[in-house]
Structure 1
Amino acid sequence: MKRFEETQTTILNVEDETMTRSLLNKVPEVTIFFWIIKIMATTVGETAADFLNFNLHWGLSNTTIIMTVLLMGTLYLQFKKRQYVPWVYWLTVVLISVVGTLFTDNLVDNYGVSLVTTTVIFAIATIVAFSAWYISERTLSIHSIFTMKREIFYWTAILFTFALGTAAGDLLSEGLGLGYALSGIIFALMIIAITIGYYAFKLNSVVAFWMVYILTRPLGASLGDFLSQSHKNGGLGLGTVGTSILFLCTILGLVTYLTATKKDQVFAK
């Protein structure tokens, strides 16, 4: 009887370990492909939100409702998956980028909240999200997203980082009148500084990751506005349609490549 119980315990431990290994793969490995797609997704979030709102005349409220419903459906698929699936994960990122942008735009355009205030609001919301995550789980590492609870924290934090990035990007480029190009350069230099801090001065890897993750949002937003806005507004005049299609096609190509090669798969040791 004792041997039978030991055997059962061993089987359960193996099953738990297998499940953990499987669930560990809910997010991609952080490679150069990760950052390229992330920046492009943030750019699409900016241009797609403008396209749906202005070009299709859906209006901010209707656009927000429709895109939030689509995001909820995609998040449902993401949570149902037992491992990282590139197209589901990155579709979720693109949609959460759009919704995060719309949250900020609604506060500014529909409710008259200043860009300074929205930046502060979403900065606080982001800090609270990360604090709650750390207090609950004692880690903010993306390599430990193997429970539903941690995944909820993960996507909540990402939503607020997108909203914060939109507000901060608009604050610099429009509110302070720095323009899209200069704002993008400033955010790029901040990312470079953090990268140097990580490699040269041993900045904590988790802290460095999330700082860069937050900053790639306003970088992508500034890039999107610079490419899509007219020449008189300081942009290149590609339009929201052209910019969105260009970046979506690039994202699709990279996700297809990663699906085939599995270069961004995370495997437990």
Structure 2
Amino acid sequence: MTASKVPEVTIWFWLIKVLCTTVGESFADWINTGLGVGLGATAVIFTCVLALVMGAQLQLPRYVPIVYWLTVVVLSVTGTLYTDLLTDTLAVPLAASTAVFTVALAAVFGVWFARERTLSIHSITTRPRELFYWLAVLVTFALGTAAGDWTLALTEWSPGVSVLLPVTLIAIVTAGWRFGVNAVLSFWLAYILTRPLGANLGDWFAAPRSAHGLGLGYGLTSCVFLTAITAAVIYLSRTRIDVIDPNDVNDHTVPVSQRRVSAVAAVGFYAVVILAAGALLQWASMQPHGEAGGHDDEDPRPAAAAATVVPGRISAFPATDIAHLRNVVQDTLVRVNAGDQAAARSRITDLETAWDQDQDRLQAIDSNTWTALDQEIDAALKSVRSSSPSADDEKRDLTTLLNSLH
């Protein structure tokens, strides 16, 4: 029999998958904003890198840990970037992109099953099945990004709290599998959920303690997770404990003695889980978010008025940092004045990313000024990203912020 092109699904599989998700997103942000490449150019770069890595993966006759997991990392970055392009450049609402990627994933699975009569990871032994597998992985990353970002937009949960939802859902999926719910369905649901889990976990590690994070920063967090991935992949390469035996035809996904749950019962089980999660998100979206630093989407100005930037205090921050922020705000204002809302949304993302990346360093210099400026930036972000943007509100908030940055 042909050797499998993917690893056995063990605890190592899930551990490295989560780590890859975190490192992939951090690296994309570094290229996009840290090097000033921009979202569109970063997406093009990683699409080219994906083509090269995928070409190497497809040429291999068997599963090779370092190439396989490198492919997963690049797919994680690329899938995230595609979602960000829809949201930030094309102004597609997160709810819509979540629905689009859900339909796309269903279509991939439908065509895959119609052709191959299986969606099991243990059946990836032919080129068509491997192509279907990687396409499904790419779409799951995009879907996980959209669904995760949509959840955070609705709830405005802190980094630590946001980790709990995907962890809980993964635990429920695992429990369902243990009690006999279809193993293939359970696998792919868990695979999707690891995307928001990894991203939220990275944010929790990197966010400052004042924002209920662990305060490691994005640089150190990426190094820690990358080191863990490297160590795990080296271990797997040497021990080969995750290599699927081509002579073993068993599925490995459900113990032989375990009674399988009917398809109707499985659908009912996950329908209840989805409804419960939806009810939780609906409840969370209706709660006041002022303590977490968020504001009402329809009127962010009252919260922003709680603190003001004291004239002259902005000079405490490095001039290069302020100049970069000022340029982004000016560019955004120019686009708003020109009536190009999509371009304004795209440009102001650079403001958010740069501000978040510099948070630890700037907040340590002058916490009060940082807090006041953070509220003005948040107000500008909400105005530009509003589902029903008002040009007057956008201009007012961007002008206020621009004045504070001088």
Class of the TM-score when normalised by the shorter of the 2 chains: 0.7 to 0.9
Query: Does residue 1:74 correspond to 2:53, yes or no?
Result: yes
- 1:11 maps to what in 2? none
Runs of 4+ aligned residues of structure 1 deviating over 3 Å after TM superposition are: 229-237
Choose the corresponding residue for 2:217, options 234, 239, 250.
Answer: 239
Whether the 8 Å CA contact 2:97–2:146 is kept in 1: the answer is: yes
Paired residues, what number?
247
Aligned counterparts, 1:248-263, within 5 A: 248-263=226-241
Choose the corresponding residue for 1:165, options 125, 135, 144.
Answer: 144
Deviation, 1:98, is 0.5
Whether the 8 Å CA contact 2:105–2:139 is kept in 1: the answer is: yes
- 1:215 maps to what in 2? 193
Q: TM-score by structure 2 length?
A: 0.59
Query: Does residue 1:44 correspond to 2:17, yes or no?
Result: no
RMSD: 1.4
Query: Aligned in 2, Cα 1:105/1:236: closer, same or farther, shift over 3 Å?
Result: farther
Whether the 8 Å CA contact 1:47–1:225 is kept in 2: the answer is: no
Whether the 8 Å CA contact 1:51–1:240 is kept in 2: the answer is: no
- 2:290 maps to what in 1? none
Whether the 8 Å CA contact 1:46–1:225 is kept in 2: the answer is: no
**Per the alignment, in what secondary structure is the counterpart of residue 265 of structure 1?**
coil
AA of the residue aligned to 1:100: G
Whether the 8 Å CA contact 2:144–2:195 is kept in 1: the answer is: yes
Choose the corresponding residue for 1:30, options 9, 19, 42.
Answer: 9
Alpha-carbon displacement from aligned partner over 1:118-172 (angstroms, at most 9, x marks no partner): 1111111111111111111110001111111111100000000001111111111
Partners of 1:70 and 1:175 in 2: CA distance = 33
Aligned counterparts, 1:106-117, within 5 A: 106-117=85-96
Deviation, 1:221, is 1.3
Deviation, 1:204, is 1.0
- 2:182 maps to what in 1? 204
Whether the 8 Å CA contact 2:6–2:124 is kept in 1: the answer is: yes
Query: Aligned in 2, Cα 1:168/1:64: closer, same or farther, shift over 3 Å?
Result: same
- 1:267 maps to what in 2? 245
Partners of 1:236 and 1:49 in 2: CA distance = 21
Partners of 2:111 and 2:68 in 1: CA distance = 23
AA of the residue aligned to 1:112: A
AA of the residue aligned to 1:126: L
Alpha-carbon displacement from aligned partner over 1:176-195 (angstroms, at most 9, x marks no partner): 31233222101110111111
Query: Aligned in 2, Cα 1:179/1:173: closer, same or farther, shift over 3 Å?
Result: farther
> Which of 1 and 2 has greater Rg?
2
Choose the corresponding residue for 1:129, options 97, 108, 120.
Answer: 108
Partners of 2:97 and 2:210 in 1: CA distance = 26
- 1:105 maps to what in 2? 84
**Per the alignment, in what secondary structure is the counterpart of residue 214 of structure 2?**
coil
Partners of 1:248 and 1:51 in 2: CA distance = 14
Query: Aligned in 2, Cα 1:147/1:39: closer, same or farther, shift over 3 Å?
Result: same
AA of the residue aligned to 1:167: A
- Aligned identity (percent) is 47
Whether the 8 Å CA contact 2:21–2:76 is kept in 1: the answer is: yes
Whether the 8 Å CA contact 2:203–2:213 is kept in 1: the answer is: yes
Partners of 1:143 and 1:157 in 2: CA distance = 15
Partners of 1:33 and 1:251 in 2: CA distance = 10
Higher RCO structure (Cα 8 Å, ≥6 apart) = 1
Whether the 8 Å CA contact 1:61–1:106 is kept in 2: the answer is: yes
Q: TM-score by structure 1 length?
A: 0.88
Whether the 8 Å CA contact 1:173–1:182 is kept in 2: the answer is: no
**Per the alignment, in what secondary structure is the counterpart of residue 26 of structure 1?**
coil
Q: Mark the runs of 5 or more structure 2 residues left unpaired by the alignment.
A: 249-406
Partners of 2:119 and 2:225 in 1: CA distance = 29
Choose the corresponding residue for 1:184, options 163, 166, 183.
Answer: 163
Q: Give the structure with the larger helix fraction.
A: 1
